[in-house]
Amino acid sequence: MTTVDSPSVTGLQIHTDRKSLRQALHTVGMTVARTSPIPALCGVLLETDEHSLRVSSTDYQCTVTTRLPARITTPGRMLLNHHELTKLLTGLGKGLRTREAEDMPVRLRATDDGTGQLSAHGYHLSVTSYAPEEFPDLPRAEASCAELDWTTFTHQAQRVLVAADTDREPSMPALSGVSVTITPNQLRLVATDRYRLAIADCPATTTHDTEQTVLIPAELLASVITRLTGQRLRIGLTESGMATLTTETTTVIATAPDEHARYPKWERLMPTGGTTVRFERDPLARAANTAAALATATDSDAMVLRLAGDRVALAPVVDDDPETVTAPWHPLRSGTIEQPMRMRFHAERLADALSTLHTSTVALTVTGSYTPAVFSDDDGLFRHLLMPMRTPRR
């Protein structure tokens, strides 16, 4: 435990509880480096205001700031090593009952030589600290342009993230992000990896009459929806085009995956016309999981979706022959296919698509065996487009 470029603390002393401090460190941990040539990026900046403590982290691409209740004895700033402080707080709770550990009073302060100190449960522990001046200047969150229910947002975001391109070096950097478009009274989330496309709509209170779009890194969004908590979410844009996500206690400010990235014009992929049928989701989702497992067992990556009259079936493709395996038929709830159709899909992607649908009855829109198919919830708020696989020439 060391002090770097003392004094690293400007007189701060605060009192809070172990649970609140651990939760704050967990929230900002999404952007903290374990090791870095810039030591300050391994730290969390602690700053006081009248009745709370602000905890911030950044990796230059993203900044996270959260607030927690605290009793401020001496206002000031402190930059402490995140990993070390987290481990110490974890260790202090060992051997105690959960409630006793969570409610444990803790104190953070500067010692006379400028080192950060954590005190709790009779222990006084030094924490590696850095000069607050070495911490990058934090961008300012602008006024929000949309507000919506946090639970609705996280629910819809989880569904579209399935379709995001998660490759470390995607051929199109924009595809590693989720497109967020704000229009009057609505927020739309879109993600694609070129083989599938997920679209989710959320009702929102908006402040602009014109359309606004921002790209949020998919990996960051996945962390945000698991680490943040709240009742309402406000979304805004900074003057430089960065996205801001704000709950009651936390603000996340993020740059796009590539500042020059342009999200593809996905609307042209959506089929027009065609035939729409409806079926019960659960039986077909189970059939998709079975077909995907059988495809894997036979060293295949494909399954075939068969539509005929008022029935639908899913079967694994074995030896590149979509007719090798027979499979049970499931009745359609509505709609009829006049000419039998056979569509070949990537097995895992089709199973994923069905898993993202949440209404008991779902819709399938098709225009042909070799054109995109769209699966959608019955309420129309979520759609998942899948590109079919071409049948190899024999």
Q: What is the pLDDT of residues 327-338, one digit of tens each?
A: 999 999 999 999
DSSP element (H, E) containing 344: strand 337-346
The answer as to CATH 3.10.150.10 being correct for domain 270-386 is yes
- Which residue has tokens 């704050």? 24
Instruction: Tell me the CA distances in angstroms from 231 to 145, 228, 246, 250, one per residue in order.
Output: 17, 10, 11, 12
Would you state the pLDDT for residue 114? 76
pLDDT in tens, 76-90: 999 999 999 999 999
For the cut 50, the answer to whether the pLDDT of residue 386 exceeds it is yes
Q: What is the DSSP string of 351-382?
A: HHHHHH--SSEEEEEES-TTS-EEEEETTSSE
Q: What does 182-245 look like in DSSP terms, one character per residue?
A: EETTEEEEEEE-SSEEEEEEEE-EES-SS-EEEEEEHHHHHHHHHH---SEEEEEE-TTS-EEE
The helices-and-strands tally (H runs, E runs) of the chain is: 7, 27
Which homologous superfamily is 13-134 in?
Answer: DNA Polymerase III, subunit A, domain 2 (3.10.150.10)
Q: Could you identify the residue written with the tokens 């900074």?
A: 238
Residues whose CB is less than 8 angstroms from the CB of residue 10 and which lie 6 or more positions away in sequence, other chains included: 76, 77, 78, 110, 132
pLDDT tens digits, residue range 355-383? Answer: 999 999 999 999 999 999 999 999 999 99
The model's confidence at residue 7, banded by pLDDT at 50, 70 and 90, is very low
pLDDT at position 191 over 90:
yes
CATH class for domain 144-267? alpha beta
Q: In the prediction, which pLDDT does 333 show?
A: 95
144-267 matches 270-386 in fold: yes
* Sequence spans of domains, the chain: 13-134, 144-267, 270-386
Can you tell me which residue has the tokens 């079926």?
279
Q: Classify burial at 104, counting beta carbons within 10 Å of its beta carbon; exposed 0-12, middle 13-18, buried 19 or more.
A: middle
Average pLDDT, the chain: 91
Q: What value does the mean pLDDT take over residues 14-38?
A: 94
Which tokens sit at 76? 């000031």
**pLDDT (tens digit per residue) in 119-167:** 999 999 999 999 999 999 988 877 889 999 999 999 999 999 999 988 7
Tens-digit pLDDT profile for residues 202-256: 999 999 888 998 899 999 999 999 999 999 999 998 877 789 999 999 999 998 7
